[in-house]
Amino acid sequence: MDRCPVARKEWRPVTIIAIADEVRAALAAGRGVVALESTILSHGLPSGRNRKVAERLEAVVREAGAVPATIAVLDGKIRVGLDERQLDRLCAADSGLVKLSKRDLGPAIAMNQDGATTVASTAAIAHAAGIGVFGTGGLGGVHLPLPGKHSSWDVSADLDALAETPVLVVSSGVKSVLDIEATLELLETRSVPVIGYQTDHFPGFYLRESAYALSWRVDTPKQAADVVHAHWQVPGQAGILLANPIPPEYEMDRELHDQLLADGVKLLDERGVQGRDVTPVLLEHFHTASSGVSLDANEALVVANVTLAAQIAADLAER
């Protein structure tokens, strides 16, 4: 009984989470705020390009009338809202930042290890800071088994975070390197509503449509905000996933996509890639093997998702 309280006494959330002045002021004034993750920048995009994307994301949030809050762990603290220099550090080629899922936050803070947050950790932090809307690229999901394996047991903590945290996540579905069917089944089991944005099908990240139909669809930011507003008034509800397909002009050619995917899976097997390295290695393969086509696609979809998230956050803030 009295073994835990010692640790708890030392637990001071106010000193662990540092909220940037601009974000704090926006929250206090009831303005729309959009959480942005950092793993997509540090581990999902190459250095140089990632810094430009970071800037663009913050700009589109502001244009839509909300305030951006990029989240990362720097200098032993969880940072909610980064300044220019912190964004530079996050995006540097030699940043030394590690990918931090929800379970990694305590160890990283204690060991003073700088790191980038995934959807799972960003959602948890956003909620703790009082932010309800979060825009990103792709959600983690259930991985397909590698050749010769019965099951991968690789299920992203992003799914549990959505099941536990009252946050709206706007993404372009999950990458086709995942088991989309299993991912959607798990989201159903964990009571996470999946809403299509101007689509009746779950999007496939680089592709606008997967083979899987969705039960719910909205067509405007206002409708999306209506759904979020109602969802959070229903007792016991948590996360909600808004699935926004990649803009049509950036959708990848299906044949190129399928080839990249097949080669990527082979590469993982040959190199014995496991755990948290799987997603970054696959993304890197897509970016290099497609000569940047997947990079343009990635940027276009994340910009669209973050814009939509900001429009919804601005609408929710008016209620």
| Beta-sheet pairing, 240-243 with 168-171 | parallel
Check the annotation: does 155 bind a ligand: no
Taken in order 59, 63, 64, 67, the sign of the CA dihedral is positive
| Beta-sheet pairing, 77-80 with 17-19 | parallel
Q: Residue 119: name its binding partner from Mn ion, ligand PSU, none (Cβ under 5 to 8 Å by kind).
A: ligand PSU
Pick from 276, 294, 297, 304 the residue near ligand PSU by CB under 6 A: 276
HSE of 86, CA atoms in CB hemisphere, 13 A? 20
HSE of 17, CA atoms in CB hemisphere, 13 A? 20
Residue 218 contacts residue 239 (beta carbons within 8 Å): no
Q: How far is the CB of 15 from ligand PSU (least distance, A)?
A: 26
Nearer to ligand PSU, 32 or 44 (CB): 44
Q: Which stretch binds Mn ion (CB under 5 A): 149-157, 195-203, 221-229, 252-260?
A: 149-157
Pick from 37, 58, 104, 154 the residue near Mn ion by CB under 5 A: 154
Q: Which residues contact 215 (CB under 8 A, 6 or more apart)?
A: 194
Name beta bridge partners: 19: 80
Residue 217 contacts residue 199 (beta carbons within 8 Å): yes
Q: How far is the CB of 48 from ligand PSU (least distance, A)?
A: 16
175 among known catalytic residues: yes
Assess 179 for contact with Mn ion (CB under 5 A). no
Assess 257 for contact with ligand PSU (CB under 6 A). no
Q: Which of the residues 58, 102, 175, 299 is marked catalytic? A: 175
Name beta bridge partners: 201: 213
Neighbours of 234 (CB within 10 A): 7
Instruction: With residue 197 as reference, give the H or E element that holds it.
Output: strand 194-197
Q: How far is the CB of 159 from ligand PSU (least distance, A)?
A: 9
Q: Which stretch binds ligand PSU (CB under 6 A): 72-80, 156-164, 186-194, 257-265?
A: 156-164
Assess 179 for contact with ligand PSU (CB under 6 A). no
Pick from 135, 138, 204, 239 the residue near ligand PSU by CB under 6 A: 138
Check the annotation: does 200 bind a ligand: no
Cα 88 to Cα 268: distance, rounded to the nearest angstrom? 30
Q: How far is the CB of 79 from ligand PSU (least distance, A)?
A: 16
Assess 290 for contact with ligand PSU (CB under 6 A). no
37 among known catalytic residues: yes
Cα 84 to Cα 186: distance, rounded to the nearest angstrom? 38
Cα 241 to Cα 228: distance, rounded to the nearest angstrom? 10
Structure tokens at 227: 């759904």
Name beta bridge partners: 165: none
Check the annotation: does 210 bind a ligand: no
Check the annotation: does 219 bind a ligand: no
Check the annotation: does 114 bind a ligand: no
Residue 202 contacts residue 184 (beta carbons within 8 Å): yes
Q: Which of the residues 9, 10, 22, 37 is marked catalytic? A: 37
Nearer to ligand PSU, 61 or 177 (CB): 177
Would you name the residues annotated as active-site residues? 37, 175
Interface residues with Mn ion (CB under 5 A)? 154
Could you list the residues that contact ligand PSU (CB under 6 A)?
37, 39-40, 43-44, 101, 118-119, 137-138, 140, 156-158, 175, 276, 279, 283
- Residues flagged as binding site: 99, 119, 154, 156-158
Q: Where is the binding site for Mn(2+), in residues?
A: 154
